[in-house]
Amino acid sequence: MRAALQLAVTGALLVTATGAAPAQTPATPTPVQPADMWRDFSRAYWRAEAGAFCTFSDCRVREQRSSGPEGGRYSDFWWAAQLYSLTLDAAEGLVGTGATPPAGPSAAQVQAGFLRNYDPAGNDYNDDLGWLAQAELRAHEQSGDPAALERARALADRIWQGWDSAYGGGVWWRRSVKDQKNVATNAPLVATHLGLYRATGEAEYLQRARLGWVWLRSRLIDGPRVYDHVSGEGSGAVTRWDFTYNFGAVMDAGLAMAQTGGDPAALQVARDAADWALRNLTQNGVLLDEGAGDGGGFKGVFVRALRELAAQSGGEAYARALARQAQAAWNARRADGLTGTAWDTPPGQGAGPDPLEPGALESLSAGSAVAAVLAAGPQPAGVPWADGRYEAENARRLGVESSDRAPGHSGRGYVNDFHTLGQGVAFTVNAPRAGRYRARVRYSAGGGWASRRLDVNGSKALLKLPATPDWQTWASVSVPLTLPAGASTVQVLFGPQDAGWLNLDAVVLEPL
């Protein structure tokens, strides 16, 4: 997701926004209760008679999600594999919490329903098969079920048939069309084969995993950054999308390589990927909204891998990051206990994929929030707060663009092309307490003096914005704000009297 916020202010100007009320008063935070969140999710989506999870929270069929059983009433193959993993999360995460038995389906029930409703032999996507193989391996580890292990072996062997020398190695995403090789297929391949090596001791699985890891490192892992896929003619071109899904998959594979694959240095690769994602794919430490559909499941993959890193020696920072995700996802629940794609919004805002039916929340999105809470375990009540940093390129865009061309920016980039009436940006700020804050705004204004309207919860103020020497020079200004506890909506708008071009890099909030 490449959303954007652009705000540029300079000099000694101080702008105070007082007396503003949030667009929606947030609920008072309560302690995070994983068993309650799993119960509410299961109540909304699980249908024991079908042995499947509904696609939408009202279990109605919709044309935009029609590939699952009964015309899409129940989730499709990949979603079902992820929800199978979620059930295994519940089996692990609810042990010792007093939820005996968990108020939802067992892993055995979900496994049996999957086998009844979905046909791996008819699935064209190797990444789908890989995520199912990982779930089956976890089921084997939890229960000792030998049939689950055999199914994982068969899936891994089928996936490996897609390996060839194109682009230097790797497995194709699809079986029928050789159009790309991606992280989503090849990182789970590494983790799956190492899991099979642990379970069976068969050296071929170790060899395959090592080949897959070497290929990932050479084509799709660039220092701490993880790209999406390779495609095209010849040696192929890399598509450099930033998804938490890919980072989580590489974190999982790297940790497995360090623990089982004989490559201790792979642990640092996993940590570097986690660090980059937590710096660049968050706002104030909370993972970004990556949209509905498949994107709604991306954060679930990431938080599972983050949990494993947090469990390693020296993983305290990852445990704190995981706790922030859990608090945010818990605080964003609706009245029915479900959370949508955005974990930093007040309950009930932005919860559904269809603006005409905002209550129809997708199971994959809601399941990612449950995964975060299960991974972190019970947490105290509170508004999560990391460093108060809100990157402009990660905010919601209102007719403006984002870029990374000018050097010296923080994060992944900045917002530009902000110069026309009606344009603007909006983002959600979560304050841990009501009171006064200082907003440090980093920007450039190489085209000369400019002005904008700063709207904080409906209260507007004029921003007078002196020029910077050029577009490569970044400056900052401190802006006092008064905020309520919890969520506030901040917009920067080009009004009728405004002028000038601006680039915004980031806004950092500091309690006064």
Residue 453 confidence (pLDDT)? 85
Q: How far apart are CA 190 and CA 198, in angstroms?
A: 12
Pick from 64, 35, 86: nearest CA to 291: 64
Taking 70 as the threshold, does the pLDDT of residue 90 lie above it? yes
Whether the pLDDT of residue 131 is over 90: the answer is yes
Q: For residue 82, give the DSSP letter.
A: H
Task: List 440's β-bridge partners, or say none.
Answer: 478, 508
The class level of CATH for 389-511 reads mainly beta
In this model, does residue 200 exceed pLDDT 70? yes
* pLDDT per position as a tens digit, 18-35: 233 334 445 689 999 999
Which residues are within 8 A (CB) of 227 and not within 5 positions of it... i.e. 6 or more apart?
Answer: 183, 220, 221, 238, 239, 240, 241, 246
Residue environment code for 477-490, b if the CB has 16+ CB neighbours within 10 A, otherwise e: bebebbbbbbbbbb
Q: Which of 79-93, 175-189, 488-502 has the lowest mean pLDDT?
A: 488-502
What pLDDT shows up at residue 238?
98
Of 13-22, 40-49, 326-335, 458-467, minimum mean pLDDT range = 13-22
**Local confidence band at 358 (pLDDT 50, 70, 90 cut-offs):** low
Residue that has been written with the tokens 């494993």 in this structure: 308
Q: Which of 180, 177, 260, 174 is nearest to 213 (CA)?
A: 260
> With 50 as the cut, is the pLDDT of residue 366 above it?
yes
Is it the case that residue 317 has pLDDT exceeding 90?
yes
* Model pLDDT, residue 389: 93
> pTM, whole model, 2 decimals?
0.92
What is the pLDDT, as a whole number, of residue 338? 96
Model confidence pLDDT, tens digit, residues 264-288: 999 999 999 999 999 999 999 999 9
Q: How far apart are CA 392 and CA 241, in angstroms?
A: 18
The predicted structure's pLDDT at residue 461? 78
Q: Is the pLDDT of residue 458 over 60?
A: yes
Q: Which of 495, 381, 481, 399 is nearest to 26 (CA)?
A: 381
Other C-beta atoms closer than 10 Å to the C-beta of 365 total 30
Nearest CA-CA partner of 282 in 438, 387, 377: 387
Q: Are 185 and 208 in contact, with CB atoms under 8 Å apart? A: no
Residue 24: the pLDDT is: 47
Segment 437-452 mean pLDDT: 89
- Per-residue confidence band for 388, with pLDDT thresholds at 50, 70 and 90: very high
Please check the confidence at residue 495 and state whether its pLDDT lies above 50: yes
Mean pLDDT for 390-399 is: 92
Of 483, 445, 486, the residue nearest 466 (C-alpha): 445
Instruction: Look at residue 22 in the predicted model and tell me its pLDDT.
Output: 38
16 band by pLDDT with thresholds 50, 70 and 90 = very low
Q: In 3D, which of 183, 136, 192 has the Cα closest to residue 159?
A: 192
Confidence of residue 15 (pLDDT cuts 50, 70, 90): very low
pLDDT of residue 503: 92
Distances (CA, A) of 235 to 164, 238, 251: 13, 10, 26
Question: Taking the domains of the chain in order of start, what are their residue ranges?
Answer: 129-280, 389-511
* CATH number of 129-280, picked from 3.30.70.600, 3.40.50.300, 1.50.10.20, 3.40.630.30: 1.50.10.20
Between 199 and 64, residue with greater pLDDT:
199
Sign of the Cα pseudo-torsion (447, 449, 455, 456, in order): positive
Q: What is the pLDDT of residue 355?
A: 46
- Amino acid occupying residue 194: L
Contacts of 23 (CB under 8 A, 6+ apart): 346, 349, 457, 458, 489
SS3 annotation, 117-134: HCCHHHCCEHHHHHHHHH
39-48, 169-178, 319-328, 434-443: least confidently modelled range: 434-443
Least confident of 153-157, 209-213, 480-484: 480-484
357 pLDDT tier (thresholds 50, 70, 90): low
CB atoms within 10 A of CB 412: 18
Angle 3-397-362 (CA atoms, 0-180°, nearest 5)?
A: 60
* DSSP state letters, 460-485: EEEEEE---SSTT--EEEEEEEEE-S
Which amino acid does the sequence have at 125?
Y
**For residue 284, which of 384, 382, 383, 388 has the smallest C-alpha distance?**
388
DSSP state of 350: S
Phi, psi of 409 (to 5 degrees): -75, 160
Write down the mean pLDDT value for the chain: 90
Q: What is the pLDDT of residue 141?
A: 95
pLDDT band at 346 (very low <50, low <70, confident <90, very high): confident
What is the rounded average pLDDT of the residues 365-391? 95
